[in-house]
Amino acid sequence: MKIYALKTPIIGELSNIAFDKSISHRSAIFSLLSDKVSVIKNYLFADDTNATLEIIKLLGAKIEISKNLVKITPPKEIKEPNQILDCKNSGTAMRILMGLLASKNGFFILNGDKYLNQRPMKRVTKPLCEIGASIDGRDNGDKAPLCIRGNKLKYFEYESKIASAQVKSSLILAALNSNGCKFKEPELSRDHSEKMLISMGADIKRDGLSIDVNPLKNALKPLNIEVPNDPSSAFYFAVAASIIPDSHIVLKNVLLNKTRIEAYKVLEKMGANIEFIQTQNDYEKIGDIKVKFAKLKAIEVKENISWLIDEIPALAIAFACANGKSIIKNAKELRVKECDRIAVMVSGLRACGLEVSEFEDGFSVVSKGELKPAIIDSFGDHRIAMSFAILGLKSGMIIEDDECINASFPNFKEILKSLGVSVEN
């Protein structure tokens, strides 16, 4: 993908942003806990979330699709599939499904693409195996493909060393389908799972950073939800409006959960002109986000990292256009995402003429004036590809291996073009 520098401001309203990836994955998986039909409006049809639909279909669910409406009829019992369950590039799908399948009768194999199969899974397999799960895989169960022999698990108490919504969600599902648990995390991670499961009737109680999960006595109520636009996907255009002079953009119908808009708060602290307008508050706060161009100043970010881990590559683009030295710390988790995002962002930013220092848990960025166009290898990471596409609006850019964008945001290029950006495939 080749991006040409933009000569005009970005102005307009965006309502066709990708629907929320996290909620789409969960809505498909959680539908298996009901005995009635779940209805999901605005399900995200992207490579990763499509893979989750295909997996639950192989587990016995019946799926009807009409435009952005998905109806899921769960099986009476999850069936043992006669083929491998392919999670594509989705760590969310693999890790959450592990907790569900480890607590169900049957034999299951979870696999992914070459990037997902290099990501660490022991953060989930280890606590599950400690309570009676049977899971094996490469590197002593740390790497996929993963083989799971499901069974009833013991009650457990687990204090996670990392704030991870994927770990939390996996263990909650394992506990619901077995004998319950008490789970504690070091700081609040994304809380969609708890909110959605409680709305379905699950007996889950939160006390600060601790969660008590009681086992299911009956099937849960079905989901009937409308998935909002994804704040992580919308954020690329928030950054674009903040760095292109005279830009003004409105991001419509975006999820405003506090654990999902931290990157916008950081951008606001950098001087960006941002306004949040809440329009709904059913199971989640939803609304519009207005962003206007402003001269950005440097910032140091070291708190609430789990709330903005997916947006750090795009934030780095804002750092590249800010006045001064910006620093990100406590973000070692970036090393084990779809790629080593610290190393890849540092290499790419240096290629664009920026002064960048790399740390074990982050990096610093100093703008040296005019940005240089560069050729960026995305390493199959959709967030790397889209972030450097946004920087390309300032300098021009060539992104290699850009097909990965389809993992979460299939119409990303289409939106760029609608805003006047010249894009070549």
Given pLDDT bands bounded at 50, 70 and 90, which one contains residue 370? Answer: confident
**Tokens coding 124:** 């989930």
pLDDT at 226: 95
pLDDT in tens, 95-127: 999 999 999 999 999 999 999 999 999 999 999
Cα–Cα distance for residue pair 258/315, rounded to 1 Å: 17
Which of 191, 210, 226 delimits the end of a domain? 226
Q: Is 337 annotated as a binding residue?
A: yes
Query: In angstroms, how far is CA 142 from the centroid of its own chain?
Result: 21
- Give me the CATH number covering residue 137: 3.65.10.10
Note whether 178 and 138 are same-domain residues. Answer: yes
316 falls in which pLDDT band (50, 70, 90)?
very high
Residue 425 has pLDDT above 90, yes or no: no
Q: Could you tell me the two tokens for 329? A: 């710390």
Q: What pLDDT is recorded for position 283?
A: 77
Q: Which of 59, 137, 47 is nearest to 100 (CA)?
A: 59
Please choose, from the candidates 317, 218, 309, 234, the residue with its C-alpha nearest in 3D space to the C-alpha of residue 276: 234
Give 220's DSSP letter.
B
The pLDDT tens digits of the residues spanning 255-297 come to 999 999 999 999 999 999 999 999 998 778 999 999 999 999 9
Residues 289 and 222 in one domain: no
3-state secondary structure of 165: helix
**Secondary structure of residue 229 in the 3-state scheme:** strand
Mapping DSSP onto H, E and C, the string for 145-156 reads EEEEEECCCCCE
Would you say 326 is a known binding-site residue? no
**Per-residue model confidence (pLDDT) at position 367:** 86
pLDDT at 364: 98
Mean of pLDDT over the chain: 95
* Residue 368 scores a pLDDT above 80: no
Across the range 64-91, mean pLDDT stands at 95
Q: Tell me if 83 is assigned to a ligand binding site.
A: no
* Ligand-binding site membership of 48 (annotated): no
Our count of domains for the chain comes to 2
56, 190: one domain: yes
Same domain, 8 and 154: no
The reply to whether 341 sits in an annotated binding site is: yes
Q: Is 22 annotated as a binding residue?
A: yes
> Would you say 21 is a known binding-site residue?
yes
Mean pLDDT of 137-152: 94
Band (pLDDT 50/70/90 cuts) for residue 34 is very high
The whole domain housing 395 covers 2-19+228-424
Sign of CA pseudo-dihedral 348, 349, 354, 359: negative
Judgement on whether residues 172 and 200 belong to the same structural domain of the protein: yes
> What dihedral do alpha carbons 112, 115, 117, 123 form, nearest 10°?
-110
User: What pLDDT sits at residue 369?
Assistant: 76
| Residue 155 and residue 81 share a domain | yes
Tens of pLDDT, residue by residue over 195-230, are: 999 999 999 999 999 999 999 999 999 999 999 999
Shared domain check, 274 and 165: no
Nearest to 362 by CA among 394, 328, 385, 399: 328
pLDDT in tens, 145-177: 999 999 889 999 999 999 999 999 999 999 999
DSSP 8-state symbol, 253? E
| Residues contacting residue 351 through CB under 8 Å, at least 6 positions apart | 372, 374, 375, 376
* pLDDT mean over 390-395: 96
Q: Is 383 annotated as a binding residue?
A: yes
The tokens for 58 are 């192989």
HSE-CB for 368 with a 13 A CA cutoff: 11
60 & 163 share domain: yes
Q: In what order do the strands lie in the sheet with 85-86?
A: 85-86, 106-111, 143-150, 134-137
- What is the predicted pLDDT for the residue at 282? 77
| Alpha-carbon span 178 to 214, nearest angstrom | 9
Residue where a domain terminates, one of 187, 203, 226: 226
Residues 29 and 166 in one domain: yes
Question: Of 211, 226, 241, which residue constitutes the final position of a domain?
Answer: 226
234 and 217 co-located in one domain: no
State whether 307 and 262 are in the same domain.
Answer: yes
- Indicate if 241 and 220 belong to the same structural domain: no
Active site residues: 310
